[in-house]
Structure 1
Amino acid sequence: MSARSLDRRVYLRSHPLLFGLISATRPLGAVWVGRTLLVHDAEVYREILTNVPLDREAEGTTGGAALQLGGGGVLFDQAGDEHREARRSLAADLGAEGVSRVRPIWQGVIERGLTQLPGPVDLVPLAKEIAGATACALTGCATEPLVLAEATVEAASNAAGEHLPRLWGHRRVALRALRAADALSALLPDPLDAMLAVAAVNTTLAALPRAAAWCARAELWDQISPELTSELLRVTAPTPILPRVAAAGATIRLGDRRFRIRAGDRLILVARHAAEAHRDTARNERTAAQAVFGAGPHACPGANLARAQLTDFLTALVPHRPEVRKAVAARGTALPGYAKLVMAGSRV
């Protein structure tokens, strides 16, 4: 199985109905499904993130999840000057100095976790520990990295499950989401820390194993570099969709079509397609690579940290040139990923 086919299977199996619909509607660029606008086109994607007022507290959005985790007042549901100030502060924590501070921590976890190579090693629990250790360092959380990682994965997967369409079980799902949010709040009482940990852990857990599997199947071990890291993040798109809600009316154009957005309309911004992850080569490599991290004032401030961490992870694997021995896609997780990814050195 090719690298792209293996990764696409992971993507589709996480939430088959949702991602099946998204894949089927990609050629349309943008399409209404009820009062939800699915956006695939890169220009429309950027236009909405930069120029359309968005409701940061709406249910089913990242900001809505922030409210559930800690009562709001955090980066993801703020607006105006408050939002900009919080972003500046977080960008400083996740900038060059912040990366330099936490980099030795994840490098130590990687070094210990790969001592079994060239023998078989499951990269999923290792990625979870890397993510947890990084989140602990960023938030100052004193708990064990795997404990924090498990709590953030549970909170994110239950929050995602609560907002997916379903015919029954709403109350049960909502109760699980509330319990998971309470458990995470017990570890990280500060809502900003909680949301930072959720974002860091879940994107890392999605990105690292998928990129390693792609490198193995595509035989890219001789090409590992920061440039390849950016390309791997583009083609895997760890956060494939950005759910948003319009706060005010707007009109968006796509060719000769016009999309009139009303306040309260749901917007599913497909980062995977805006980044042209479905293409072997992007038409605008730099713009496409950035699309997986959002755009404008809604761009992810942790992009540099994510790239550095993935580069270090893949670089540590290079001497062993590992091959995929067993790959099991995760189901029902917040982001597409593996439940198990066993790799071993190519000579074993």
Structure 2
Amino acid sequence: MLRLGRTVLVHDRQAYLDGLTRVPLDRTAAGTTGGTARRLDAGGLLFDQEGTEHRGARRALTDGLGAAGVARLRPVWTGVLARRLAPLADGGTVDLVPLAAEMAGATTAALLDLDVDPLALADAARAAAAATAHEQIPGLPRPGRARAARIAATRLTDLLGVSGDGTGLAGMLAVAAVNTTVAALPRAVAWCADGRLWEYAADPDSREVLVAELLRVTAPSPILPRVAAGPGRLAGCPVRAGDRLVLVARHAADAHRSDPNCVSPAPARVAQLVFGAGSHACPGARLARAQLSDTLAALAAYLPVVVRARAERRAALPGWATLSIRATA
């Protein structure tokens, strides 16, 4: 870890864990997701809550994303996969970015019981996340960023069609589910293709190991910005109230040191760190693993290769704007 003024850059695994579980966090501080949500009048989000309110929202969300909830949602995304991947059988190409966006949008709509166009929901969620992320970027303020973020948040809220206490939770679910899926799924498939890992994807026993390893190295949310609400220690180093914590999830999970390895994978407790820890663990981890597992299973028979790729420069999370694949089998 490294202190730069009042900013603490955290790479160490234990310090990362301490930052999520042992240091009191200010959920509404400027520069954090919760702070931005409150400034945009989107209160009630999971990361913008305290105490029993926070625990109650997490319990409700966990119920919907538990084993039974994921089983209920699975036909939604497998239907999208079957339709979107069909051109591969005829020698065509498939762009995985709109595929991932439709999967995420359709799954989120089903989870929230909404009758909306999946791609429209995904587009609104991605725009809201990007506008919010741009507003949080350190440096000189740029005119229009705050207004753009408010407009994007309003567009998403209007599309969700919910009001009152449900607005914040629905918006948080849409933003988190869509953006992490669109960021992670194409990157994971690209790594599988480049690393020639399809034999592990074809085997149900090794596929789950491959899924964990791919999510570890892609780390859909690679950096977690937080602000300390009180004094604490990160791996023995003191932290003061008001210090900004930049928790690098991908480094805590050794994504920068080791490639995915299905023969000697990282311990489960390490791979899990990309989904947070303790009360700050992502409740959507089971859903993310299931969607990636089904995607890899559907692709394994085709042994696809990447034929075109273009990086996304505007999104909230690192990913591809285009990632086209073609079957070789």
TM-score by length of structure 1 reads 0.87
Aligned amino acid, residue 291 of structure 1: L
Once the 2 structures are TM-superposed, how far is the Cα of residue 263 of structure 1 from its aligned partner? 1.4
Q: Is 2:223 the counterpart of 1:246?
A: no
Q: Is 2:155 the counterpart of 1:155?
A: no
Where does the alignment leave 5 or more consecutive residues of structure 2 unmatched?
A: 202-206
Residues 141-190 of structure 1: per-residue CA shift (max 9 Å, x gap): 22100000000000001100000123352x21111111101111112231
Number of the residue aligned with 1:95: 66
Q: How does 1:112-261 map to 2 (within 5 A)?
A: 112-117=83-88, 118-169=91-142, 171-188=143-160, 189=162, 190-224=167-201, 225-254=207-236, 258=237, 260-261=238-239
Runs of 4+ in structure 1 over 4 Å off: 281-284
Aligned amino acid, residue 46 of structure 1: L
Where does the alignment leave 5 or more consecutive residues of structure 1 unmatched?
A: 1-29
Q: Is the 8 Å Cα contact of residues 130 and 316 (structure 2) preserved in structure 1?
A: yes
Aligned amino acid, residue 322 of structure 1: P
Number of the residue aligned with 1:27: none
Instruction: Give identity over the alignment, percent.
Output: 56
Q: Is the 8 Å Cα contact of residues 141 and 187 (structure 1) preserved in structure 2?
A: no
Aligned amino acid, residue 129 of structure 1: E
Q: How does 1:1-348 map to 2 (within 5 A)?
A: 30-68=1-39, 70-117=41-88, 118-169=91-142, 171-188=143-160, 189=162, 190-224=167-201, 225-254=207-236, 258=237, 260-280=238-258, 284-346=266-328
Aligned amino acid, residue 277 of structure 2: A
Number of the residue aligned with 1:7: none
Aligned amino acid, residue 272 of structure 2: Q
Number of the residue aligned with 2:204: none
TM-score by length of structure 2 reads 0.92
Q: Distance in 1 between matches of 2:8 and 2:128?
A: 26
Residues 34-81 of structure 1: per-residue CA shift (max 9 Å, x gap): 211110101010011111110111122122243245531231111212
SS at match of 2:291: helix
SS at match of 1:268: strand
Residues 283, 253 of structure 1: alpha-carbon distance in 2 compared, 3 angstrom cutoff: farther
Number of the residue aligned with 1:3: none
Q: Distance in 2 between matches of 1:59 and 1:140?
A: 32
Q: Distance in 2 between matches of 1:69 and 1:316?
A: 40
Q: RMSD across aligned C-alpha pairs, in angstroms?
A: 1.5
Residues 298-328 of structure 1: per-residue CA shift (max 9 Å, x gap): 0001101100010001111111111010111
Number of the residue aligned with 1:4: none
Q: Is the 8 Å Cα contact of residues 158 and 180 (structure 1) preserved in structure 2?
A: yes
Residues 162, 186 of structure 1: alpha-carbon distance in 2 compared, 3 angstrom cutoff: same
Aligned amino acid, residue 147 of structure 2: L
Residues 246-280 of structure 1: per-residue CA shift (max 9 Å, x gap): 111113335xxx2x222121111100101110122
Q: Distance in 2 between matches of 1:69 and 1:319?
A: 46
SS at match of 2:245: strand
